[in-house]
Structure 1
Amino acid sequence: MFASVKAFIEDYRHESQSTQKLLDALTDESLAQAVGTGYRTIGMLAWHLVHNDAGMLQRTGLRFDAPAAGAEPPQSAAAIARAYRETTASLLGAAAAWSDDKLLETNDIYGQSWSNGLTLYLFIKHEIHHRGQLTVLMRQAGLPVAGMYGPSKQEWEAMGVPAPTR
């Protein structure tokens, strides 16, 4: 749970930059990649990171620009990456206007009473969860994966170091 708006902004700025790296690596051709029949494609998962996360935060009263929840994903990877960049910038700007006291207020989130500080915390965890799914699909599609908390296999190899296998 976040106790200060500044802590949320610093954490989300870092996490959203990691997500942006992945979205920027997507190609139009990769958007149809799915783990299997009946599962989200890269395009659907990437679009979920743009708009659905916004729905969670809008229940707190935080108002920022984001695509509508029912909006169809663009057929362009660049358009998805751009929409994420714009949504994130708007979200960070709106959060900066909150006071730390606003983090203590509670709202009904999915039938539970969550403080705004908890909602912001779980919002980031939700994004990290889906980012992990996205990296698996990106590997299946043959796309390079950027390291999040350390180098990826490709980044180790670019440094001339064998990637750890254990």
Structure 2
Amino acid sequence: MYRKSEDFIEDWIASSAGTLSVMKAITDDKMDYSIVEGHNSLGWLAWHLVGTGGFFGQLAGLQIPAAAPGTSMPSSMTAIVEKYEEVIEAYKNEALTLTDEKLTEEVNGFMGPIARGKLLRILIDHQTHHRGQMTVLLRQAGLPVPGVMGPTKEMQ
């Protein structure tokens, strides 16, 4: 749980930069790649992180852009990356308005009341979870895997 806005901002900058590098590694022709048919594809996972970024932000009472319900996934990674970059910047700006007191305030989360700082921790954990899935799919799809937490095989 975050108790200091500076801690969230620092983690968000690092986490979102890693996620952005993974999204930028996805080519348009591999957006539909999934481990097996019917499972989450690279493009779906990237678009999901854009959507849930907005959803978590709205639950936290922050002004984070979100796609309207029912909005279809864009057909290009460039469009998804642009939307994700908007989410990144919105969190950086909105986090500056958070006081220590606001981080401990309870908000209505998707499973009931939750401290705002805890909800923001779950946001980053959720993003990390799906970024990990995307890195595995990148490798299986034959695309280079960027170094997020350290060097990858391609960097050796």
* TM-score band w.r.t. shorter chain: over 0.9
The structure with higher relative contact order (CA 8 Å, sep 6+) is 2
Give 2:122's aligned residue.
122
Which residue pairs with 1:164 in the alignment? none
The equivalent of 1:141 in structure 2 is 141
* Residue matched to 1:162: none
2:107 is paired with a residue whose SS is strand
Decide whether aligned partners of structure 1 residues 133 and 112 sit closer, same or farther in structure 2, where only a CA change above 3 A counts.
same
Structure 1 residues without counterparts, runs of 5 or longer: 157-166
Q: What per-residue deviation string (whole Å, max 9, x for no partner) do you get for residues 86-130 of structure 1?
A: 111112111111212100111221223210010011110000000
| TM-score, scaled relative to structure 2 | 0.94
1:83-98 → structure 2 map (5 Å cutoff) = 83-98=83-98
When structure 1 is superposed on structure 2, of 62-71 and 17-26 the one drifting more is: 62-71
Q: Tell me what 2:131 maps to.
A: 131
Tell me, yes or no, if the aligned pair for 1:42 and 1:134 is still in contact at 8 Å: yes
Q: How many residues get paired?
A: 156
1:69 and 1:91 map into 2 onto residues whose CA distance is 20
Question: Is the Cα contact below 8 Å between 2:25 and 2:144 reproduced in 1?
Answer: yes
- TM-score where L is the length of structure 1: 0.89
Work out the CA distance in 2 between the residues paired with 1:140 and 1:57. 32
- Partner in structure 1 of residue 18 of structure 2: 18
Rg comparison, structure with higher value: 1
Show structure 2 runs of 5+ residues with no match. Answer: none
Residue 9 of structure 2 aligns to a residue whose secondary structure is helix
> For the Cα contact (< 8 Å) 1:51–1:69, is it kept in 2?
no
Shift of 1:52: 1.7
| Stretch of structure 1 that moved more, 38-47 or 55-64 | 55-64
